[in-house]
């Protein structure tokens, strides 16, 4: 495994760096974190700028509307955009980082043509409808049903913690299409139009004050059968593709952001005198090593996916994605716990950005599958231990 950069990759980095240097100063001010319609407009405008400059869907295959760049170039993109302080993917997180890649990998030609270009242009926003009340992250326990009626499914049930539902056009939705099946069987992956009759969205305010999540109620919603990605009742396998992208690569850019936050923590500690505490310095040092190791793990997962593509495979991240997700969830919490120690009494200021990030970091041990689920995957698929019952 070669973790160095080729000349082509370095040239790509320099072109991107130059474009960011000329583009970022012209961006408008970021909207309020609670104003999701404004955040959608801001995030989609940034996505359109990337699209017009040829940086949208960099590592998506060309036949899916992407640039056909290597996963390594995607990593360079993440490094450079974060280093330059470019806008985060924001409201386009679900569409760009796991719904889109799933459709590119598992969808039909017609589905790729319908849904992928609007994602890349920033015209349509997606949300994720996986988690349900009384099931949590145990997707095998989902109870939302889809009953076949001619050329449509009639969907009834509810979802919770649905990311970006308030402003989304589409939802990647898991439903049970075989009521007699249990567990992982009898599930299908549907693309649900959020403006369909029978869809009700109720935003949830989190501990950090954000309304990023929502409850979604589905009352006999008709979804065309043509909106099913993958075969009927084969949704669990499709979902594993979605989650592999979410766990393996969707958080990669955040690792770069965490390393930048760590640098600012050190600067702040030197300014307010906390740097004199040797215990705190060691704590920040351990975090620096941790995030350095996580970035290497990202590179390893990407290198594995790139090798898969060269060998004619699907390029979907493997079980190493769970190793990354498990450790990253904890490291992010540790980072903002350290931030509270650096800030001292100021950490109680609810308006301080690091205070909000500290509260939000608690959710990372649930997002994209709980840490317990990641541990089970690692035990079974990496260590080869017997399956849990």
Token look-up 């060691």 returns 282
Answer yes or no: 306 catalytic.
no
Residue 194's pLDDT is 97
Considering the domain delimited by 126-232, tell me its CATH architecture: Beta Barrel (2.40)
Q: Which of 328, 245, 246 is nearest to 291 (CA)?
A: 328
Q: Is the pLDDT of residue 119 over 70?
A: yes
| CATH code reported for the domain at 247-383 | 1.20.140.10
Residue 246's pLDDT is 60
Residue 269's pLDDT is 94
Per-domain boundaries in the chain: 7-121, 126-232, 247-383
Kindly state the percentage of the chain with pLDDT values over 70.
91
Give the ranges where the chain is alpha helix by DSSP (H): 7-23, 36-53, 71-83, 93-94, 100-106, 109-121, 235-248, 252-272, 278-310, 320-343, 353-361, 371-377
Average pLDDT over residues 139-168: 92
**If you average pLDDT over every residue of the chain, what do you get?**
86
Residue 272's pLDDT is 92
On whether the CB atoms of residues 102 and 242 are closer than 8 A, the answer is: yes
323-351 confidence digits (pLDDT tens)? 888 888 899 999 999 999 999 888 888 77
Catalytically annotated residue among 79, 82, 172, 246: 246
Residue 12's pLDDT is 92
Residue 286's pLDDT is 94
| Top-confidence residue, 169 or 58 | 169
* Tokens, residue 136: 């949590």
| Top-confidence residue, 205 or 92 | 92
Q: 250 pLDDT band (50/70/90 cuts)?
A: low
| Top-confidence residue, 64 or 261 | 261
Residue 144's pLDDT is 94
Q: Is the pLDDT of residue 258 over 80?
A: yes
**Ranges 148-152, 228-232, 287-291, 306-310: which has the least confidence:** 306-310
Average pLDDT over residues 199-224: 89
Q: Is the pLDDT of residue 300 over 90?
A: no
235-245 confidence digits (pLDDT tens)? 888 887 776 66
pTM of the model: 0.79
127-151 confidence digits (pLDDT tens)? 999 889 877 667 778 899 999 999 9
Q: Which of 184, 183, 192 is nearest to 229 (CA)?
A: 192
Q: Which of 296, 301, 294, 329 is nearest to 317 (CA)?
A: 301
Q: 211 pLDDT band (50/70/90 cuts)?
A: confident
On whether the CB atoms of residues 319 and 378 are closer than 8 A, the answer is: yes
Q: Is the pLDDT of residue 2 over 60?
A: no
Tell me: domain 7-121, CATH 1.10.540.10, correct?
yes
Q: What b/e string do you get for 67-76 counting C-beta neighbours within 10 Å, with b at 16 or more? A: bebbbbbbbb
| Beta bridge mates, 204 | 213
Residue 313's pLDDT is 63
Q: How far apart are CA 130 and CA 189, in angstroms?
A: 10
| Top-confidence residue, 325 or 40 | 40
């Amino acid at each position: 495994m070669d973790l160095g950069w080729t000349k082509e990759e370095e040239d790509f980095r320099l072109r991107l760096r130059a474009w960011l240097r000329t583009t970022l100063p012209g961006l408008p001010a970021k909207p309020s974190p609670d104003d999701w319609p404004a955040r959608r407009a801001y995030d989609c405008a940034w996505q359109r700028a990337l699209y017009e400059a040829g940086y949208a869907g960099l590592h998506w295959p060309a036949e899916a509307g992407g640039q056909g760049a290597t996963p390594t170039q995607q990593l360079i993109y993440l490094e450079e955009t974060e280093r330059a302080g470019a806008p985060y993917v924001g409201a386009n997180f679900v569409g760009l980082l796991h719904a889109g890649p799933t459709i590119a990998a598992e969808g039909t030609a017609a589905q790729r043509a319908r849904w992928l270009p609007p994602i890349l242009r920033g015209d349509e926003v997606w949300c994720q409808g996986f988690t349900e009340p009384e099931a949590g992250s145990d997707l095998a326990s989902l109870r939302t049903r889809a009953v076949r009626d001619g050329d449509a499914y009639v969907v009834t049930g509810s979802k919770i913690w649905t990311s970006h539902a308030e402003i989304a056009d589409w939802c990647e939705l898991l439903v049970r299409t075989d009521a007699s099946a249990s567990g992982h069987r009898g599930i299908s992956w549907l693309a649900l139009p959020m403006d369909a009759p029978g869809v009700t969205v109720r935003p949830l305010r989190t501990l950090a004050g954000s309304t990023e999540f929502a409850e979604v109620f589905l009352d006999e919603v008709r979804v065309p059968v043509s909106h099913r990605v993958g075969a009927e009742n084969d949704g669990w396998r499709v979902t594993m593709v979605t989650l592999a992208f979410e766990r393996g690569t969707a958080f990669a850019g955040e690792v770069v952001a965490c390393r930048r936050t760590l640098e600012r923590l050190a600067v702040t500690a030197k300014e307010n005198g906390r740097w004199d505490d040797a215990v705190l310095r060691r704590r920040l040092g351990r975090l620096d090593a941790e995030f350095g190791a996580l970035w290497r793990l990202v590179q390893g997962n990407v290198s594995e996916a790139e090798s898969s593509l060269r060998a004619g495979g699907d390029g979907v991240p493997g079980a190493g994605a769970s190793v990354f997700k498990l450790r990253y969830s904890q490291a992010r919490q540790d980072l903002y716990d350290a931030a509270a120690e650096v800030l001292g009494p100021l950490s109680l200021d609810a308006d301080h950005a690091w205070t909000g990030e500290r509260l939000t970091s608690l959710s990372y041990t649930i997002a994209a599958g709980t840490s317990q689920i990641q541990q089970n995957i690692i035990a079974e698929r990496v260590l080869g231990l017997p399956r849990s019952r």
